[in-house]
Amino acid sequence: PPAIIHGHHNYLWQCRGLEPAGGAFLNLYGCDLARSPDGRWWVIADRTQGPSGAGYAVQNRLIVTPMYGRLFRSLGVQRLAGFFRTLQQRLAALAPTDGEAPFIALLTPGPYNETYFEQVFLARYLGFALVEGSDLTVRDNRVYLKTLEGLKRVHVLFRRLDDEYCDPSVLRTDSALGVPGLLGAARAGNVAIANALGSGVLETPALPG
**H or E, element range at 193:** strand 192-194
pLDDT at 101 over 90: yes
- What per-residue confidence (pLDDT) applies to 121? 94
Q: What is the pLDDT of residue 188?
A: 94
Question: Any residues with CB less than 8 A from the CB of 155 and at least 6 apart, and which?
Answer: 95, 96, 97, 102, 103, 104, 191, 192
CA angle, residues 80, 85, 91, in degrees to nearest 5: 130
Local structure of 125: helix, strand or coil: helix
On the CB side of 26, CA atoms within 13 Å amount to 13
Summarize pLDDT for 145-159 with one digit per residue, the tens. Answer: 999 999 999 999 999
pLDDT digits (tens, 9 = 90+) for 39-66: 999 998 999 998 999 999 999 999 999 9
pLDDT reported for residue 209: 57
Q: What is the DSSP letter of 209?
A: -
How far apart CA 110 and CA 192 sit, in angstroms, is 21
Answer yes or no: pTM beyond 0.75.
yes
Q: How distant, in Å, are the alpha carbons of 50, 96, 140, 209 from that of 161?
A: 6, 21, 23, 27
d(C-alpha 116, C-alpha 122), whole Å? 10
Give the span between the Cα atoms of 16 and 2, in whole angstroms: 14
pLDDT over 90 (residue 127)? yes
Residue 126 half-sphere exposure, CB side, CA atoms within 13 Å?
Answer: 27
What tens digit of pLDDT does each residue of 186-203 get?
Answer: 999 999 999 999 999 998
